[in-house]
Chain A
Amino acid sequence: MTAALANPVMRRLLRVPPAYYVFAALLMVLWIARPNMLNLNIMGIFVRQIVPLGILVLGQLLVMRVRSIDLSGGGVILLINYTISSGVFPGASMAFFIVLALAIGLAVGFFNGLMVGVRRVSAVIVTLAVGIVLVGVVQYLSSGKPPGDVPGMFADIYNTKLGPAPTPVIFWVVVSAALSLFLSRTVFGRYVTSVGENVQAAHFSGVPVARTVVLAHTLAGLFAGIAALVQTASIAVGSVRVGLDLPILAVAATILGGVVFGRGEGGVWGPFFGVLSFALLFVVMTTFGVDEPGKLIAQGLIILLAAIFYGIRTRSS
């Protein structure tokens, strides 16, 4: 195996994030098994469902590039969904809800950032605990019962189309492109790369490591807030279970897209295709009649195989 890994062609192929291979493979499977599903309308609906995950992944890839992780996204999404759908703010305008959601996201992200970057607490534990605290708060406020409806304007915007593509999908592509540009063109983007490469070297080169980590987490919180808005619009009702498995899926899609702790070769588009792979995977599994447990197992295996794939590469290089 070592000889095969040393082969230059093989090395070149290994550098491509696994997301692209998985995406192509799943497309082939679908093309062979259900060719009639591969049209723009049906695919548009499936991709539209995955947009909240897609936006959450943007934050996840940011924190994973600075060697951290954010598992609190599920709690943030649940809390925002609850505040919008429970009618705590009767008759509030759409703008108010958007500002509120972004503020909640920013606040949670900033707290995570302070804990991880300044206080140097274990990122997994902190973000997991923050997520649990938020979920518990929502369950307490709602006593486990689903809250009311989401104001109609959310669904109205969600259901529009720009040309052939649904608006949420366009929005996702635009936000991803913006983040991609932001990371490649700004000083902060350089800081993220250097902290990921080597924390100590970055510190001694004058990179404000703690500040970079705090900012990355704050931005991740912001993305979680945006994801919560899209998710809330997509289901149009309040729920006490919405978004709980999203953080894990976000980690999986990010690793699949070639961004592992500290390494960001996949850029923004690798994880983007990681998310698309998950969209296709759920379509394929549903068409083949795989049920809930099967999906759990598949999720776990994908995270594991993608991580092993990167583990092997670290060793061979």
Chain B
Amino acid sequence: MKPILEINHISKKFRIRHQLVPYLSLRDRIVDTLTFRRTTSSEEFWALNDISFNVNAGESIGIIGKNGAGKSTLLKILSKITLPSSGNIISRGRVASLLEVGTGFHPELTGRENIFLNGSILGMKSREIRSKFDEIVEFSGVENFLDTPLKHYSSGMQLRLAFAVAAFLEPEVLIIDEVLAVGDAAFQKKCIGKMDEVAKSGRTILFVSHNMNAVYSLCSRCIHISKGKIQDSGSTDEVIKGYLKGGSEQTHVRDYEKSNQLIGDDTATLLRARLMNKDGHTIEYIALDEPCAIEYVFRIHRAGLNPVPNIHLYTNKGECAFIGSIDPKGGFSSPGIYTATMWIPANLLNTGTYSAGLALSTLSPTIVHFYEQDAILFDVIEDMNKRETEWKNSLPGVVRPRLEWKIEKK
């Protein structure tokens, strides 16, 4: 049997304009033309570079890679939203994408009306929507609000409704991008269950996610994209293992000094920051059972105050995981360059994406010398091969400590 998708040497070029407006204005165009002046310079950027692979009917393929690796561009090309610059794709089935659920929802329309509108935008026939209407409503759990305008829904309800519509699409190839990043744990579980069901029903799935756990549980084959090229492909086990290992070699560091974006006041400025592993190497993500450290370097310009370094760690849902701080007891009273390192022990944070805000503040009188929000972003990842159970889904919670248990038989 011929593959359902044949991707042959796909490349996509973007022209990056060095101009700070998000769209062209006619005036600029006219002025530029009249004065023979170029107010914009452009640079080519290959978001995808010669990507080829085949997808067989019934396969579930995971696509992983760092932010900006080109995963989303690939999916956009596969779903015909944007066209490739070169190469071609032969598709032998209806492709539907969940690049973002809830596309086309209108706040003024009711839940019922939005189900029809959204379903139709996603490519369902109205006959199809009518026949699945009850199931969709039941899955979403918004029965009582069907005739309420969507603008009065909570964001959670909107999301559930959106996913419910999308879940009942029946294309031959389903493209899923990061839908699991949203919703509460119970709903996420429901979604994974639904996708599992879809995968087992013999449909083809292309699944893009940063959630290694979800990729692991859904996909048999995996493709790792890095800088627009296929870095690795093969069985999910192997590719994820390579991806995790590769992670510890990649650099992830903020250098405010070099980029001339010094942050601070007349007492102290932030110079550099990084995430590192126990060997002192700069890393971008860390395994669940490995310790890591956030390190930042700052300069104290004048003596007299008693600043305290503190790190604010947030989840990607915006919950504060903790604020780590220490009292240096006058340690920074003399000017100079200091390095502050906070160690996060192994088996403390749960899997997920975290953002660290770096601060230096004096407590009395209260002065914040600098606070750099989202200075460091990193992932905590679990190597599924180390799980001894059949249960391969992600676990809820911000922390996942290994606590001491005692079990006694009476």
Partners in one complex: no
* Interfacial residues, chain B to chain A (CB-CB below 8 A): none
Chain A residues close to B by CB (< 8 Å)? none
